[in-house]
Each structure stands twice: as structure tokens, then as C-alpha cells.
Structure 1
Amino acid sequence: MKKSCILAAIVLLIIVLGACSKGPTPEERFQEYVSLWNEQKFNEMYDFLSADAKNKMTEKEFTERYKKIYQSIEVSNLKVTYDKPEEEADRGDEKKASLPYALKMETLAGPVEFKQDAVFVQEEADKEENWFLAWNPSMIFPQLKEGDAVRVSEIKPLRGSIFDKYGNGIAIQAKVPEIQVVPGQLGDNPEKVKAEAAKLLNLSVEDIDSKLSANWVKPNVSVPIMKVDPANKELLKKVTSLPGFQKADVDSRYYPQGESSAHLSGYVGSISAEQLEDLKDKGYTSTSQIGKAGLEYVYEERLRGKSGYRIFIDSSNETIAETPAKNGEDITVTIDSDLQKQLYNQLKGDSGTAVALHPKTGETLAMVSSPSYNPNQFVFGMSSAAYSALAENPQKPLSAKFNKTFSPGSTFKAITAAVGLKTGAIEPEAVKKINGPTWQKGPEWGKYTITRVSETYSSVNLERALVSSDNIYFAQAALDIGPEAFKKGLEEFGFSEEIDYPFPIATSSISTSDLAAEEILLADSGYGQGEVQMSPMHLAAAYTVFLNEGSMLKPYLEKKDQPAPEIWKEAIVSPENTSIILSDLIKVVEDPTGTAHEPKLPNIMLAGKTGTAELKTTKEEIGKENGWFVGMNMENPELLITMMVEDVKDRGGSHYVVPKVKQVFSSYLK
């Protein structure tokens, strides 16, 4: 009995050892391979390849091929599945096994999935039999064959356009003329021809030569030089009359409003290395165009759209995966391009800015800055000399002014009046006795005095102070209000608060010093000097208080189906006090003694306030002056304009600005 048991155990051991000597099955080997594949451990996967596969490709080549392909198509969520059967398959050829598997992955061109068989062959390795994968390129993609390469092409989306409230283009996609040159057709004196063309195009000969020196250029091939504004027909005619120069219409970003809306529209340009590094995870590539300034920058994410991609085999052009481009969003803003142009024409030749709002809805009707530039030059091509001239101009034509802050001068007095009436520091009919052109509180002010614009009146109430723009009255009013109440009142008007607005607007500020400790500074602040800083946009918004029963409207920029006002600051002035100040602001324009009376507009009633801001650090200094005027029409109010012109000291101060604003009202209200 014992012998038979021992014999049975020996037989069982021989069977087990015999089974172990067969090594792993192809199913087991493939399961290991699939596990490594899902983890993208390509170098370890190589160990599973058959001798024939290894003869065709080294481990480095195998690993790099997978890595390069997977990286170029941005593989994610890779999932290769092989379900090992419960029972070993019945193979006719004992040294070959065909095992089905499925692959799924996400790529930049969308999902990819396929099913096929992996073939394992039995080979001897290290004096033992084992199963190895008869790998071929189709395991990467079924369409891929020996010698093929996987390519990716980007399908560019159309950038969205920006339109004004009436559908006029501010930034659009359009066909524009491009000047091209055929090198072999420049004639007997090519240098002379290039010099003439360079002069016409505001380029240097070197700029043209750099285009012609590209390694792909051939004598009879057209070489793009620069795009030209379609409106400049005379230039096109002159350039294309030169030997070798011709015109072709090409797709381009185009800014139909040109200089008048440059700081509003901004422009697009090639993405920089720094921007690409910051935005590489958002679908940008080295060839991307990106908003560099203005609304192109502000609305970049919505305008740019989303690129589509196609993954394909280079030799056969067979598509592996493709996702279409999603074009950018068109955006319609509340800007009135005609009004924008009118304001720009009034500012042209000066350094200044203007903002126009609809005073009953808060719509932004115009935002203008001067001097300006032609945004098309940044897209079409600009010489280095032309760019340097813009960049080095002390008036900073490349920088918008409507979103910066400035000393508001006497336009600020209406705000001081509102704060004074609310706190009770100002009584409208109360008369201040002010004698002489200058005033100081007492000897503690030393030599510092405050100067009046006009010394005609010695008895001054609120109405007279606004109509004649009396600095002394409002300096005394600020002192009567007191530093804390003054600061609180201005904060109710939005000072020290960021404006919720798509276009970045600098925050208006009261003072960097302690008003409680600086009595002279508090007095100066009362009439818009001192350290008070306001943006033209904020100043315009502040004046909406006087047409909306004491509530300040929030300016907005995107067109709504129906113009609808939003309140930024509710009931910061009582209706009674609003009426008092508005009545006085009408007299500033309508009263013959008012600072904004001339020129008189027939049949148009305006309310408004002038301002001249002195820019100097000491009383003795002879500084520059900025002239301001804020105006709004009273019959069916639909336009409120804030305009500021720099350096008006010897040109009449604010009186230089008033006629410009009135001319726009006259044209617009017709």
C-alpha cells in the first residue's frame, strides 16, 4: 500500500514538473505585455518582441517611435484590453498563437479605438522555449506599415470678429491685398526698383532683401512682402506699377476703423516664446496668432476659437482621427464707430482721451485715445524704424489713455458738491464771503495759498461756485466736510474700487497720504487737485448720478438684446441734491458767465463741468495743464462725453476742450 502511494506521488510530481517545464503560455505573456503597454513602459515591452522584430528595430528605435508618436498626438487615457480565455485555445500550429485585443485612447484629434490580433511565436531564448510577440507597426495603428510615419496637421479656426452696435466691423477677417515680388522680373536695375518700392511701403531695402533671401525663394516664385490697407488704392496702384511687383488678395485680420479705434480694437500678432510657455496647455502652438492689445487681448479666449487636428499616415494620406476646428465667437460691443471717429478727429493732433457713455443705459459708446497708430500695420507688416518711432514717441501712441488715471481738476467739484450736500457741510443757498484771488486758512499754511480762476464774485453760494468754478469755495467745502467724511463720500462714488468692466481700467484713488494729517492736501482735493486721480471712464460714470436720481450706472461694453442699465452705486445722492447739482451744471453751460458757455449750441441744452488740472509738485513750479470737459445733453439724454486734452496751458485751458466736445454733440444729436 505504501509503495503504491509513493509511486502515485512520483507520477504526480513528474506531471507537475513536466507542466512547469513548458513555461508561460502566450496568453500569460500577452497579459504581461498589455500591462506594460498601458503604463507606456516601451523599453520593457521591447523584451517581448520576437527575434525577427528585434532584427528590424533596436530597443532605442522601438522606444523612441512609440514615445514620439504618442507625444505628438497627445495620447491620454490609453487602455489596451486583452481578456484571457478561461481555457487555453486550441492552436493548430503549436508554435504560433493569435490573440485578440482592443485599444482605446484619447488624442488631440479625438478618440481612437481599434481591435485586432497580436501574433505570438514560440522561440528559444537562453536555452528555453518562450513566447514572443511578432510585432509590426500596425500594432500602433492598423493603417501603419513599415516605412510609414504618423503626421499631425492643425486645422486653424477662423478668429471671431468684433462688431460695433450697428454691425460695423472693428476687428474682422477679410481679404486684403498683399504686395508680392517675383525676383526674376525686377528688370535691369533691381536695386533701384526695390528702393522705390521700399520708399512707397515705408520699408527699408533690407526689409525686402530679407524676404527675398529665404532658402525657398526662386526667380519665378512670388514672394510675399507685406499686406496693404485695402483703402489705400493709390499706394497699391503705384507699387504694382513697378517691375516684378504684383498684388494678390489673401485672408487676414483687418481693422476697418484704423487709427480712430486702435486702442479699442488692439491687434493680433505672433505668439511670443514667453506667452507660448505660459499658454502651451491651452492649445497654442508656435504658429498661433494671439491678441496683443485692446479688445483682441481682452476677448482672446472667446475670439480665438479652437483648433481642429487630423492624424494621418504620410504615405497614404489615410486618416486615423480627425476633429474639426471650432471657429471663434463673434462679439458685438456697444461702441458707435461713427461717434468714435468724430471724437478721434477732434483729438487728432493732440495728446488726449475721450470716453462716451449713454447716460441712461450705461452703454459705452466710444473710448478714444490720441495720438494713435494704425493697428493694421502690426498685422500687415511694419519696418523697425516705423515701430521705433511709435515706441519712442513721448506722447506714447501705443498706450491707451482712456483706462489710465489723471488729476480730474475742476470736473471733480460736482462730486465734492454731492458729498458736501449729503454730509450737510454745504448748504446750497449759504453764501461764503471770498475776497481776492487767493486764500489760505491761516498762517500755519506758510506761503501756500489757493488761487481762484475768477475773482469777480465775493459772495459765493454753491451755484455760483460751480458756474464760475471757484477753487476757494470747494477747498473750504472739503475742510468743512472733514477728512473721514470726505474719504467715505468718495468711496461711495467708487473710489479705491476696481471697476467691473471687461477692459482693464485703472482704479481711481483719493490720496496716498493721510488727509487727516495733511490739511492743505485735503483742501486741494476738494477742487480735484492734490493727489486725486480718476480715470476718464470713472469720471463719466460718476456723472450718470445726476441723470439717474442719484444712482451711478455701471458702464458696460457688450451689446445686449435690449439696452438695460445696471446700477453700480445705488442712491449715493438724494434726488433733491441731484436736482440741485444738475441745475447748477446746466448753468455752467447755459449761463453766459459759465465756464462752458462758449460756443453756444443752438437748440441743444447741455449740462457739464470744465476742469483744468495743474501738473506740478510745488506751488512755485510752472507745470503743464490738462484741460477737461464733461458734458451731457438734457433733452432725451443719450450722450455723456468726458474729454481730456494734455498740455493746454497756453491754449486756453479747458476752453480749448469745450468747443471740441460741443462739436461732437452737435453732429451726433442731428
Structure 2
Amino acid sequence: MPQRSDKLKNPEQELRIFRARALLALVVVLALTSLLIGRLAYLQVVQHDVYSTRSENNRVRVEPLPPNRGLIYDRNGVLLAENRPTYNLTLVRERAEDVDETLELLVELLGLTGEDVATFYERSQQWQRPFQPVLLASDLSEKQIARLAINRHKLPGVEVEAQLLRYYPNAEIMAHALGYVGRINAEELANLDASRYAGTHFIGKTGVERFYEDALHGQAGLRKVETNARGRVLRELGRTDPVPGKDLTLTLDKSLQQLAYELMDGRRGSIVAIQPSSGEILAMVSTPGFDSNQFVTGIDRASYQALQENLDLPLFNRAIRGHYPPGSTIKPFLALGGLADGAITPDTTINDPGYYQLPNDSRRYRNWLRWGHGRVDLERSLAVSNNTFYYSLAHEMGIDSLHEQMSNFGFGQRVSHDVQSESTGLMPSREWKRERFGQTWYPGETLSVGIGQGYWQVTPLQLATATATLANRGEWVKPRIAREVGDSTLPTDLPDTPDDINLAQDSWWDRVFSGMEKVVSGREGTARRMGQGLEYRMGGKSGTAQVFSLGQDQRYDADELKERLRDHALFIAFAPIEDPQIAVAVIVENAGGGSTHAAHLARAMTDEWLLEDEAPEVDEVRETLETDTHNVEGN
């Protein structure tokens, strides 16, 4: 039989294998334990402050406290811009579990329309600093707030905040002067002081609200609160109160502003009134206006598009950005410029045949009265608004001197201290035309400038400022719209105020004032109908600015022209002459003659300011405008 070799057990070898395996297991266990202990030591000792802070942040939260925006008053303490309590919906993306799902639920709960949904999602994408709330909706209704409260457990990161929202009681009347606040956009957010604007969703966009943003806004505060696992505030642990914005008192008179708005009666144009001695802007109206409250919470697309497509341009601030040929309103300034230049004397007289001709030129530059005014001196040239006198004067002065003298009154430059986005207008010069068109200046263009036509463009604010400087006998006081910022009164002597206009003889002012007084009170005055029954001495000047040029032998016929091609009506005035308290500039687009369609508005403004209770009612002024249709001035 074959022999079988059986393997015998070797206890010693098995023991050695077991000991080796046990030792390896022990080493692994010890290594893992050491690693765990090391990790615990690292977390508990080395990273103690980091994780302690993280843990505290899960329980304690720092929230910004936006400041209350300063209020805005008129010169008499009438509230023009206030803050009303409202509820806003905000979202902190970092605390939301699923932003898209949260937004979908919010849309459902708020019951938004299709257009509102698009705006809602657009706002949700607005860039914001980490852990800063994004404003999704403003001015929530009680029903919306109730729905959000019931579903609060489904909306982590969503909060309903009680805040004060800007409101303008006289929105349309004050829209262009005050401006408005609106939501902070991404570009603005990137440039703002994060600590100062923490928790703030609105900023001044235009007008006074924008120019005085730093004063009106204030300084944000903060509070430290304890929250539960769902983020609900349990108690307040500490607080740094916000610093409210400063209240602003304007120079505007609400009653005068409202009168100016009503006098315009929805027509396109502007009225600006200034107190000559102080430069305070008493009224600054641009019509038509718009409801500035729509822009605070965010105007819907349809409404904004309607405003943009409106041919009357309600969003356009005509008072400071509208460019108009000044027409005959510049004749008093040109007369003073001619006296200062030496081109004329107070006794200069011309014979007006109804036109003016340049030497060696067959073209006739016509007076508005085609058969002429005969013998015309300085005062009569103003009273009857004679063109021929000023054609001759402009030619004698030349465009270089004319530009220099008119620039002294502020034409072609920004004139105010604190009016946001003011335009410079255009005071043409030889150099300007060469740079703009690459062409030389022609003598005929000087004649056009001499009657306020051609390239010359002014803003209503510029025209009112020049009138105030004229009333001051050349003393410059820069216009301003703010009177007090907080407890500080704005000084009268402002930096960058132009130099005063000094004439060789003070009597030259008297001669020009006399001519302007004859405009409203003289037998031949172009605005003599307006001046009937005046209880004070007024200096005025009418103007009618052509929107398009007439040919050599063409005659102006308003009835045959489309409404928007008709002449603009202008009038400037100041009163009383011996101690001017108010200077006014009126521009009514496409209305026709200034002596008919603008002079009565200026009279109503001065009556309101000087006579108070004796001032005529708006309906009386409108009735006068309807009956006084005879235009005694043609330029």
C-alpha cells in the first residue's frame, strides 16, 4: 500500500502568525486612534476660535439697520417729501436652501402677474454683497404678508421688513425740482460705501434727492440678534443705532410752484422764479410733469414706455435742460453789452425802414413790423421790440464782443449752485463754430444772434438767472435751491460765483430799466395789455422765438403751421424796479407771441409773490389769455 503523508499541525507557527496579525491590527488601531485624537486636538485647540465663531454665527446674527431718510420742506415748512411705513420682501441667497424653488413659491404666494414675475426675477438676479438682503418687492399688501407668514417655514432666507418708503405728496408739481429716489442698481452698489449703505435699498436718482444724497441718507446702524435653527429672531443682544439723514429746507415756495404749474395748464414749457437779492429759486416748473412716486418702488415697463414715447416728453426737465432760442428777451442784455462795449450810447438813434442790410449785401433782415418803427432810440427799441436796432448793434459789436458780453450774464454756462444735471445751453462764438462745423463765422449769423435767434440756445433757468442779475444791476448771486441742510444755512456768497458786471455809468441801468418798464406800461409797449392795473413798477421783455427759419419773402402764419412748428412764447420780468423781489422767466412752447401767451403768466407770478391775497386766480388768467388773442409783437 502507498504510504500517505499527513500534514501535521504546527502550533508554534500558528501562534507566530496570530501574534503578527494582532500586532499589525494593534498598530493600525493605534494609528487611527492617534489620527482621530490629532484631528480632535486640531479642531478643539488649534481651530477653536474659527469653529467657535461659526457655531456662534449659527445662533447669533448681525443685521444692518438702515437710517431714516431726511425729510424735505419748502421755505415755509410745507412737507414736500416724506417717509411712509411700508413692508418690503427681501431674500438672503446664502440662507436659502434652494433659491429657484424659493422664488417659485414666492411668485405663487404673492399672486404676481406675468410682467411682475419678470421684474421679480430680474430683481432677484441683482448682484449683492454676501449675506446682504436683496429687495424683491416693496409695499406688500396685508394679504401678501399673511400668506408669507403662514408659509414662513418653507422660506428660509426670506424676510418681510418694515421700512419707511419715500413719498411725494405733490408728485407732479415737484417731480422735476425734487427728483426722486429709486432702487440701488448694481453699478451704484459697487461704488457705494458698504458700511454706510448696509441694508439700504434706495438712493437719490435725480434732482434735489440726488444732489443732496449724502446729507439726506444718513449712516446705517446694526443689531446683533439671537436666532433659532430656522433663523427666526429670538432676542436682541446688542445694537448700534443708525444716524438719520438731515432734513432739507428748500428755497422753493410750494404755493408759487403750484401756481406756476397750474398756469402752464398742461402746455409744454417752463416757469422759473428767482429772488434776486439772495439767488433763492422760488419756483422751478417744467411741464408736463409726471408722478415721481411711481419710480420709488419701481415703475412697471408699460407705464415707463408710455412716458418715454409721449411726444410731450414729461420726463424731460425743460427748466434746466430745455434749449430754446431766447428771441427778443435778450435785447435788454444786448443793450447793456453794447453800452459797455462802446458800440452805442444811451442817446443812439436809428431810422428803421422795416429792415436792415449789411454793407454790400442785398439781403434784407426784416423787422417784425414790416413797415418799420421810424426813429428808434434805446428805450423805444425795448418798448416796441425793434429788430433793426439790434441788427445794427450786433453788427457794430461783432460776434466776439457779443459773446463776451453775454457770457457775463451767465449765458452758455451752468449758473446754479445745487441744481442737478443743469445744461450749459449754447452761447455761440467764432471758435465754437469752427470746432463744431469746421466753418468760418459769417456776418449774417451775428445779426441772427443779435435778436436771440440762430445758434443761440438758453435754458429757462439761465434766462431767469440773467434777469435776476439784471435786476441786481449787475451783482451776481448764484441761484440755489436749498436753504438749510440740517441746522446749517446755505451761505449767500457761494464759491465760483461769476464776477459782478460793472458799467462805466450807473445811469445806463436806469435807461434799460426804463425801456423795460415801457414794455408793460408804455403806450407802445408790446405787453401793455398785461400791464393794465399794475400796482407796482415792473420791468419786462417779451420774446417770440422761431422754431424754423422763414425765407426772404415768407410771412409767418400760425394758422397754417403745424402746432409743433409754431413760435415759442417767452417773457422775462422783475419787480418792483426800485427794489426787486422776484425775477421770472416764462417759456411756453409753440404758443405764439410772447406778449400774449407768456406775459400774463409772468404777471400772475409777480402778483402772487408781491400782492399775496390780491393776486388773480388761475381761472382769471386763463380767461385773459383766451380773450387777449391779438399778438402785438411779431418776434
Q: State the TM-score, normalizing by the size of structure 1.
A: 0.66
SS at match of 2:389: helix
The 8 Å contact of residues 546 and 579 in structure 1, kept in 2 or not, is answered as no
**Residues 282/644 of structure 1: CA separation in 2 closer, same or farther (3 Å cut):** farther
Mapping 1:532-551, distance limit 5 Å: 532-551=456-475
Q: Determine the C-alpha separation between the residues in 1 that align with 2:270 and 2:551.
A: 27
Q: Determine the C-alpha separation between the residues in 2 that align with 1:373 and 1:664.
A: 22
Residue 569 in structure 1 maps to residue 482 in structure 2: no
Query: Once superposed, what is the RMSD of the aligned Cα atoms?
Result: 3.6
Q: Determine the C-alpha separation between the residues in 2 that align with 1:397 and 1:454.
A: 38
**Residues 257/552 of structure 1: CA separation in 2 closer, same or farther (3 Å cut):** same
Displacement of 1:506: 1.2
Q: Which of residues 581, 594, 597 in structure 1 aligns to 2:528?
A: 597
**Residues 584/212 of structure 1: CA separation in 2 closer, same or farther (3 Å cut):** closer
Q: Which one is further off, 308-317 or 359-368?
A: 308-317
Q: Determine the C-alpha separation between the residues in 1 that align with 2:409 and 2:56.
A: 73
Partner of 1:139: 49
Q: Determine the C-alpha separation between the residues in 1 that align with 2:271 and 2:222.
A: 44
**Residues 152/268 of structure 1: CA separation in 2 closer, same or farther (3 Å cut):** same
Counterpart amino acid of 2:509? T
Counterpart amino acid of 1:586? E
**Residues 521/391 of structure 1: CA separation in 2 closer, same or farther (3 Å cut):** same
Partner of 1:418: 336
Displacement of 1:311: 4.5
The 8 Å contact of residues 467 and 584 in structure 2, kept in 1 or not, is answered as no
Q: Determine the C-alpha separation between the residues in 1 that align with 2:234 and 2:407.
A: 65
Number of aligned residue pairs: give it: 493
Deviation per CA, 1:413-453: give whole Å up to 9, x if none: 111111101111112222101103x3321453x64633324
Residue 555 in structure 1 maps to residue 479 in structure 2: yes
Counterpart amino acid of 2:501? A
Q: Which has the bigger relative contact order, CA under 8 A and spacing at least 6?
A: 2
Residue 459 in structure 1 maps to residue 398 in structure 2: no
**Residues 137/295 of structure 1: CA separation in 2 closer, same or farther (3 Å cut):** farther
Q: Determine the C-alpha separation between the residues in 2 that align with 1:212 and 1:224.
A: 16
Partner of 1:517: 441
Q: Determine the C-alpha separation between the residues in 1 that align with 2:585 and 2:598.
A: 10
The 8 Å contact of residues 226 and 234 in structure 2, kept in 1 or not, is answered as yes
Mapping 1:323-472, distance limit 5 Å: 323-379=240-296, 382-404=299-321, 405-436=323-354, 438-444=355-361, 447=363, 449-453=365-369, 455-472=371-388
Partner of 1:271: 184
SS at match of 2:294: helix
Q: Which of residues 614, 637, 660 in structure 1 aligns to 2:546?
A: 614
**Residues 362/133 of structure 1: CA separation in 2 closer, same or farther (3 Å cut):** same
Deviation per CA, 1:510-540: give whole Å up to 9, x if none: 2132697311111111111121122222221
Q: Determine the C-alpha separation between the residues in 2 that align with 1:532 and 1:147.
A: 65
Counterpart amino acid of 1:597? R
SS at match of 1:222: helix
Displacement of 1:658: 0.9
**Residues 319/654 of structure 1: CA separation in 2 closer, same or farther (3 Å cut):** same
Mapping 1:65-214, distance limit 5 Å: 134-135=44-45, 139-140=49-50, 145=55, 148=58, 151-175=61-85
Partner of 2:201: 288
The 8 Å contact of residues 81 and 167 in structure 2, kept in 1 or not, is answered as yes
Q: Determine the C-alpha separation between the residues in 2 that align with 1:531 and 1:394.
A: 24
Counterpart amino acid of 1:299? Y
Q: Which one is further off, 267-276 or 352-361?
A: 267-276
Residue 625 in structure 1 maps to residue 567 in structure 2: yes
**Residues 255/455 of structure 1: CA separation in 2 closer, same or farther (3 Å cut):** farther
The 8 Å contact of residues 566 and 591 in structure 2, kept in 1 or not, is answered as yes
Partner of 1:655: 596
**Residues 536/210 of structure 1: CA separation in 2 closer, same or farther (3 Å cut):** closer
Q: Which of residues 383, 387, 395 in structure 2 aligns to 1:479?
A: 395
SS at match of 2:319: coil
Counterpart amino acid of 2:500? E
Q: Determine the C-alpha separation between the residues in 1 that align with 2:381 and 2:72.
A: 45
**Residues 563/578 of structure 1: CA separation in 2 closer, same or farther (3 Å cut):** farther
**Residues 516/475 of structure 1: CA separation in 2 closer, same or farther (3 Å cut):** farther
Unaligned runs of 5+ in 1: 1-49, 57-120, 122-131, 179-203, 226-248
**Residues 277/143 of structure 1: CA separation in 2 closer, same or farther (3 Å cut):** closer
SS at match of 1:648: coil
The 8 Å contact of residues 373 and 398 in structure 1, kept in 2 or not, is answered as yes
Displacement of 1:320: 7.6
Deviation per CA, 1:347-374: give whole Å up to 9, x if none: 1320001111012221111111000011
The 8 Å contact of residues 402 and 536 in structure 1, kept in 2 or not, is answered as yes
Q: Determine the C-alpha separation between the residues in 2 that align with 1:410 and 1:53.
A: 95
The 8 Å contact of residues 144 and 313 in structure 1, kept in 2 or not, is answered as no
Q: Determine the C-alpha separation between the residues in 1 that align with 2:51 and 2:225.
A: 10
Q: Which of residues 508, 517, 520 in structure 2 aligns to 1:586?
A: 517
Q: Determine the C-alpha separation between the residues in 2 that align with 1:579 and 1:293.
A: 41
Q: State the TM-score, normalizing by the size of structure 2.
A: 0.70
Q: Which of residues 526, 531, 540 in structure 1 aligns to 2:450?
A: 526
The 8 Å contact of residues 155 and 325 in structure 1, kept in 2 or not, is answered as yes
Displacement of 1:397: 0.5
Q: Which of residues 579, 584, 599 in structure 2 aligns to 1:641?
A: 584
The 8 Å contact of residues 268 and 378 in structure 1, kept in 2 or not, is answered as yes
Q: Which one is further off, 406-415 or 515-524?
A: 515-524
Partner of 2:130: none
Counterpart amino acid of 1:424? G
Deviation per CA, 1:557-593: give whole Å up to 9, x if none: 2215598466643133342211111111111111131
Unaligned runs of 5+ in 2: 1-33, 89-111, 125-135, 147-161, 555-560, 613-635
**Residues 222/418 of structure 1: CA separation in 2 closer, same or farther (3 Å cut):** same
SS at match of 1:542: helix
SS at match of 1:343: helix
SS at match of 1:486: helix
**Residues 211/351 of structure 1: CA separation in 2 closer, same or farther (3 Å cut):** closer
Deviation per CA, 1:454-509: give whole Å up to 9, x if none: 64521111111111111121111011112322222123223444335111321143
The 8 Å contact of residues 362 and 565 in structure 1, kept in 2 or not, is answered as no
Displacement of 1:175: 4.9
**Residues 224/485 of structure 1: CA separation in 2 closer, same or farther (3 Å cut):** farther
**Residues 627/280 of structure 1: CA separation in 2 closer, same or farther (3 Å cut):** same
Q: Determine the C-alpha separation between the residues in 1 that align with 2:341 and 2:183.
A: 55
**Residues 358/254 of structure 1: CA separation in 2 closer, same or farther (3 Å cut):** same
**Residues 572/506 of structure 1: CA separation in 2 closer, same or farther (3 Å cut):** farther
Q: Determine the C-alpha separation between the residues in 1 that align with 2:492 and 2:193.
A: 39
Q: Determine the C-alpha separation between the residues in 2 that align with 1:462 and 1:433.
A: 12
The 8 Å contact of residues 183 and 297 in structure 2, kept in 1 or not, is answered as no
Counterpart amino acid of 2:529? E
SS at match of 2:289: coil
